[in-house]
Chains A and B, each alone.
Chain A
Amino acid sequence: MLMPPFNLHHPETVEEACELASTFLANDESFDWVAGGTDLLPNYKWHINVKKHVISLANIKGIDTISMHEIGAMARLGALADSEDVHPLIASAASKVASFLIRNNATLGGNICLDTRCFWFNQSEDWRRSIDWCHKEDCGTGSDCRVIPNQNTLCVATYQGDIAPSLMVLEGLIHIIGPSGQRQVPVNEFFKLDGITRNVLESGEFVLKVTFPEGVEHRVGSYKKLRVRESWDFPEAGVASSWIVGQPSSLRIASTALESVPRYHQSEIDAIEEVFSSDLVGSLSKAIMKSIKPVNNTALPPRYRKSMVRVLTKRSLHEILGDKA
């Protein structure tokens, strides 16, 4: 497939990258970041949201750290999956992403910033023309949303990243850098609004690394992913949970692949006033299921995916509680 024309840039330091970004911003020239390319390039091949410039982060040294408390944005998912240094939950979630070959290209930063997906959107230009485009990439036509017609305010494309919920339940902190400097956002506040806005990154900013608080190594975690095939497939639903054994208040649950952003389920946990234990798994799972609203834009129907949230949550919680299956 023909790549649309763009200029590829290879900054070698973070500063150079920020400088490039500010230049483009100043000249009002559009650009994208590319890390591994496994998410961006398919979209580019389909001529979706192509920018004039693409800045590659591949040549920047030192942003691929892999450790218990810090993971660089350029850390390859394949390396994370094999690593004994990172939290086992991260390794486990990374090992479930797409396929072995894709994990060798893909990076943590890319996975966090994964573009939202929708079967009306992830299609070739010819295909999208045949439906008169859609809200997420309307090509200047002001097209309506194809999933839920007659509402063109929000995009309901689904966020199908595998790793975000695990980062959330491990209380990760995302370090962002851009022309206006560095800032930190907790992972559970990183994702924002709808399928177009997606996250809090401002123009010119990119994810530098994710750090985890002291004591994260004491957390026990579990990520359950629903997919038709054990390879390639994005999650149709995913639930991660973690806690520090014996500390009910440390329970964290997050889900992905159900809405336009991954969900952090603290309010559902807080709403249950009893102390977390195996007896509570059923009601908690149900509460979390009720809190999410998937739409029909992935391979499996939304009603089914919603029901499965209960099963996945249940299984995830039983696992961290050490209950028998």
Chain B
Amino acid sequence: MAGGYRQQPGANSGETRKDGKRVAGKQKFPPPGSGGSRPNMAPRDLDSIPESVGGKEPQPAGSHIHDRYRTGTEVGKSRALVDSHAKVTGQAWYGDDVRLANEIIGKILRSPHHYAKIKSIDTSKVEALPGVLAVATGADATNTFGVLPVTKDEHAMAVEKVRHVGDLVACVAAVDEATAMEALNLFEIEWDVLDPVFDPRKGLEDQDEPIHWRGKYHVGTTNVQKRVFQEFGDRSLVDDPTASSHGKWRMEGVHHGFTEPHAVVAHWDPNGRLQLYTPQQVPHYAHRALSTVLEVPMHQINVIRTFVGGGFGGKSDPFPHEMCAAILARKAGRPVRINFTREEVYWINRGRHPSYIEVKMTADDEARISGFDIDALIDGGGFASFGHVTSYYNGVLATAPYELGSFHYTGARVWTNKPASGAMRGHGAVNTRCAVEVGLDEMAEQMQVDPIDLRLANLLPPHSRTISGFRITSNGMREALERVREGSEWDSKFRQMSLGKGIGIGCGFFISGSGLPIHWDPNRFPHATVHMQIDMDGGVTVHTGAADIGQGSTTAVAQVVSEVLALPIEMIHVRSHESDTSPVDLGSYSSRVTFMNANAAIRAALDIREKLLNAAWEMLGYHPDVLVLNDRRIYYKHDPAVGVSYLQALHKAQEDKGSLIASGAYRSPPMGGVHKGAAAGLAPAYSFSAYVAEVDVDVETGLVSCTDVWAAHDCGKALNPLAVEGQIIGSCHMGLGQVLSEKMVYGRTGHLQNPNLLEYKIPSVHEMPHVTPIIVESSDPEGPFGAKEAGEGPLLPILPAVVNAVYDAIGVRIRDLPLTPDIVWKAISSKTRSLGGIDETELPSPRLEHSPLQATLVARGAEHKVRDRRRQRSEDTSAYVNGVLFGFDPNQPLEDQVEGWKSAVEPVPEQLAELGLAGKAWLKKEQRQMRGDQ
């Protein structure tokens, strides 16, 4: 019998004592929804209750602190998203579906110049056009804003100069679209056209008129927006390497390609409050920026997040068009709607940075990775956006999952006269991850070892520290590698397939929530807050600011509340659209929502749970420790017939105070190093992933098609496996686009040549390989029920897996992304020429003959496997820091053990000469230092 019932619910129904008292164990069970004494309470789902608390759910990674709150109701079960019915019936309301009475249409005038000063704007003819109700220019809102408080460099509309073609110059609202469009032709503007910069390499040079001016922090008179230098470890280890890889990459910019174009509706209500409807991932940042730009206190603004038709990072900045709509609506006194065309979507951009990346890697005689040396020059476009963070992420997120002898990173982000780059799924980590994983593949080939074994013998264990001081908790990297190796039948395919067919491996490592909330001190205000309210009807209303952008965050929050309270998910109502009712939340970025919001929601739900149990205690006389929650009923553990319905307990708990209200918050523990930039990349947990991709390369045309992917991702615990698999497969699609076909093409003249979905080539269903998603559950100790992120990390490994597979197929390493057929064909041609002009079909396929090192790696991998398992299950709780593999004592500061162990964030003068491309940004001095020289 399930759940330890003495008796199946419903048996012997109707049997009562004459005195009206209950016969223990022989009562009817309650109907869904109420509890009490009705016959059909669902039996406990022991398959979804962990072993450690008496259920049957296996826990290979050990028990979890949340186990005792598991009721087997929702967690770990594949389920439809709670808002899916709105989506399949067409009732989900996206930005363009907000239609307010009396609304008018706003249009934005955009710059025809790459870079120009605005000498004057004459709007008189615009204003005179019948039907025009409001006109605004940069002068109407001169306060700057930006997503990061340290780099506020945007205006609602250009104030002094425009910085790229498509930059906002002015806006107009009119009774209809045709009038607004006509009005745009009537602006009279005098321009002073400046020399634009398109090539990020040029951005490192001094210029007469830098695109932005940062005052005393400006680097020379260049366009360098941010530069980073980081050096950790023992640099002497890289001398005399057994294997080394040196690759120079060029990666094109890519766009999020969400299907819903930006759209915004602004309405100043009769009380003078701004109601702003916008599909935002991070409504709170928009809220702050609106307040600054409009000079209206935040409490007089209600940001209403509509359904979001895909975000992927592209809807996380506060946007100038949101300001424009508000300004126009204030002027016109009527609601203003602005819809973007697809071209405008590309012009506002915030996609992945076009990058020049150089990676030097070395391995020593035991095939340990003695050094990573990364240089990343990233093209920021016209504005800072998230670029400050991206500059760090390009380096620091490459410091794991491997144990490194040393790590050296120089990064620079420069402004250019192109649409601004920003955060996109896998923020900052994607490009360098690809470069590093391909370098590992190359080193494995030099050492004649299997690249999977090379990785397995160099992994950081669970509960360890990376070289730059990140705290790794749960770590499913090893299991992920093992499972894709097995699933793909790697050992019988790698380096054994015929020309044109190839298989490749890639790994990933990503943050599960940023450890530092950008706008406040995490010691003074939590990362996430969730409010919960239950009234007499028993329905649970959850207020959260987490923005559901399709990833299912609302569902995840509803699921954890449902799990803790043992209520069907239909009774959990998540309200997350309005800033008026939602607690402040940082929104959906840095893969933080599941980890932080679900944790906060669990805490609020636990508060309610305690109140319910205490009420039941009072009613039943049994201490909460021996009470069980299951399907709207609370009963005595050893006699399920003795219990009260959820509603009875609830009403008891409400006796004195009415509605039950609870608030839960999440704050990450203090962690990380103290060096400058230590907070970048810091997260309460990290996700790990390993993919194997199989490709077909047409050697005559260079067309690459990816046929199969085995994708293992460690998400800690899959709260909703269906959604996790959806994230994995979707990430494959997006990553494949970047590696095979997507690029933002800036032509000879610096214009974006493909601002539409026909020429910006997102893979169609035919390009999609068959993906086998493999969920690895490492049960994170701090994650909600053990969960970590699954939204961004799964994107990382697909790029290197495909690039490595292409090498396996044709024996040519290509470091220009995307691998469009012309690029691949060119690489094949130069290879065939170098081999004496042979035919493409005669290319030699790479083969592998294991060297003695292979046995060393296999042995070390096996040893580490035991080590990792013990650490994962907390059987071994000793300290472990990066460096142990190289023989260092984890309990002593490494600086004391190794002469030359470094932890530097600025180059010493001797290093300046040998810095890579981005490192050259350090050749210039900041303005304040220049003044000091005088």
A and B touching (C-beta < 8 Å)?
Answer: yes
User: Quick one: which of A281-325 are within 8 Å of B by CB?
Assistant: 299-301, 304, 307-308, 311
Complexed CA–CA distance, A229 and B733 (Å): 13
Q: Does B498 contact A (CB under 8 A)?
A: no
A2-B178, A131-B751, A299-B761 known; A228 and B741 CB under 8 Å?
yes
Contact B766 A230 (CB under 8 A): yes
Given contacts A2-B178, A126-B343, A233-B761, contact A131 B749 (CB under 8 A): yes
Query: Closest approach, in angstroms, between the C-beta of B110 and any C-beta of chain A?
Result: 6
Given A2-B181, A130-B112, A229-B741, check contact A119 B747 (CB 8 Å): yes
1/0 contact string of A167-184 vs chain B (CB within 8 Å):
000000000000000000
Task: Identify which of B700, B751, B753, B764 contacts A230 (C-beta below 8 A).
Answer: B764
Within 8 A of B (CB), among A197-250: 226, 228-234
Residue numbers in A under 8 Å from B745 (CB-CB): 119
For A127, A129, A301, the residue with the greatest tally of chain B CB atoms inside 10 Å of its CB is A127
Contact B822–A127 (Cβ < 8 Å) = no
Tell me the residues in window 624-645 of chain B with beta carbons closer than 8 Å to chain A beta carbons: none
Chain B 695-723, CB within 8 Å of chain A: the 1/0 string? 00000111100000000000000000000
- B704, chain A: closest CB distance, angstroms: 10
A1 at the interface (CB under 8 A from B): yes
A124 within 8 A of B: yes
**Across the interface, do B764 and A311 meet the contact criterion of CB distance under 8 Å?**
no
B177 surroundings in chain A (CB, below 8 A): 2
A–B pairs, 7, beta carbons within 8 Å: A1-B341, A123-B343, A126-B110, A130-B751, A230-B767, A299-B754, A300-B822
Residues of A within 8 A of B825 (CB): 304, 307-308
B822 (CB) vs chain A CBs: closest residue: A304
* A1-29 near B? 1/0 per residue, CB < 8 Å: 11001000000000000000000000000
Question: In the complex, what distance in Å separates the CA atom of A59 from the CA atom of B744?
Answer: 41
Can you name the residue of chain B whose Cβ is closest to the Cβ of A2? B177
| Structural contact, B766 and A127, CB atoms closer than 8 A | no
Asked whether A231 lies within 8 Å of B341 as measured between CB atoms, the reply is: no
Contacts of A231 in B (CB 8 A): 764-766
Q: A127-B755, A229-B741, A230-B764 are in contact. Are A300 and B820 (CB under 8 A)?
A: yes
CA distance A119 to B749 in the complex (A): 12
Beta-carbon contact of A228 and B761 below 8 Å: yes
Q: Is B763's CB within 8 Å of the partner chain A?
A: yes
- CA distance in complex: A129, B745 (Å): 18
The distance from the CB of A313 to the nearest CB of chain B, in whole angstroms, is 12
Closest B residue by C-beta to A312? B701
Is B113 at the interface (CB under 8 A from chain A)? yes
Q: Is the CB of B821 within 8 A of A304?
A: yes
> Which residues of B sit under 8 angstroms from A232, Cβ to Cβ?
757-758, 764
B763 near A308: Cβ-Cβ < 8 Å: no
Task: Please tell me which one of the listed residues B113, B702, B759 contacts residue A130 in the complex, with CB atoms under 8 A apart.
Answer: B113
Query: Chain A residue with minimal CB distance to B824?
Result: A304
Chain A residues proximal to chain B, CB less than 8 Å: 1-2, 5, 99, 119, 123-124, 126-127, 129-131, 146, 226, 228-234, 299-301, 304, 307-308, 311
B window 721-758: CB within 8 A of A: 741, 745, 747, 749, 751, 753-755, 757-758
B744, chain A: closest CB distance, angstroms: 13
**CA separation between A299 and B703, bound complex, in Å?**
14
Sort A-B residue pairs by CB-CB distance and give the 8 closest, nearest first: A230-B766, A231-B764, A304-B822, A130-B112, A311-B700, A130-B165, A119-B753, A2-B177
B residues near A2, Cβ cutoff 8 Å: 177-178, 181
Q: Are A119 and B754 in contact (CB under 8 A)?
A: yes
Is there contact, CB below 8 Å, between B341 and A124?
yes
Query: Residue A308 contacts which of B113, B701, B741, B747 (CB distance < 8 angstroms)?
Result: B701
State A312–B749 Cα separation when bound (angstroms): 32
Q: A2-B177, A119-B747, A311-B701 are in contact. Are A129 and B112 (CB under 8 A)?
A: yes
Tell me which residues across on chain A come within 8 A of B178, comparing CB atoms: 2, 5
Instruction: Give A127 Cβ to nearest chain B Cβ, in Å.
Output: 7
Min CB distance B685 to A, Å, is 37
Least distance between B113 CB and chain A CB atoms (Å) = 7
Contacts of A229 in B (CB 8 A): 741, 761, 763-764, 766-767
Within 8 Å by CB of B821, from A1, A126, A230, A300, lies A300
Q: Nearest-CB distance from A294 to chain B (Å)? A: 12
Cβ contacts under 8 Å, B703 to chain A: 228
By beta carbon, the residue of chain A nearest B829 is A307
Distance in angstroms from A154 CB to nearest chain B CB is 20
Contact digits for B159-178, partner A, Cβ 8 Å, 1 yes 0 no:
00000011000000000011
B770 adjacent to chain A (CB < 8 Å): no
Q: Which residues of B contact A300 (CB under 8 A)?
A: 820-822
CA distance A1 to B110 in the complex (A): 16
Please indicate the chain B residues that have their CB under 8 angstroms from the CB of A301 in the complex: 822
Closest residue of A by beta carbon distance from B105? A2
Give the CA-CA distance A234 to B754 in the complex, in Å: 14
Max count, chain B CB within 10 A of own CB: residue among A226, A232, A299, A307: A299
Query: In the complex, given contacts A1-B341, A226-B701, what are 8 additional A-B residue pairs having Cβ atoms less than 8 angstroms apart?
Result: A123-B755, A124-B343, A127-B165, A131-B749, A228-B703, A232-B758, A299-B759, A300-B822
Cα A266 to Cα B763 in complex, Å, equals 37
Set of chain A residues within 8 Å of B820, measured between Cβ atoms: 228, 300
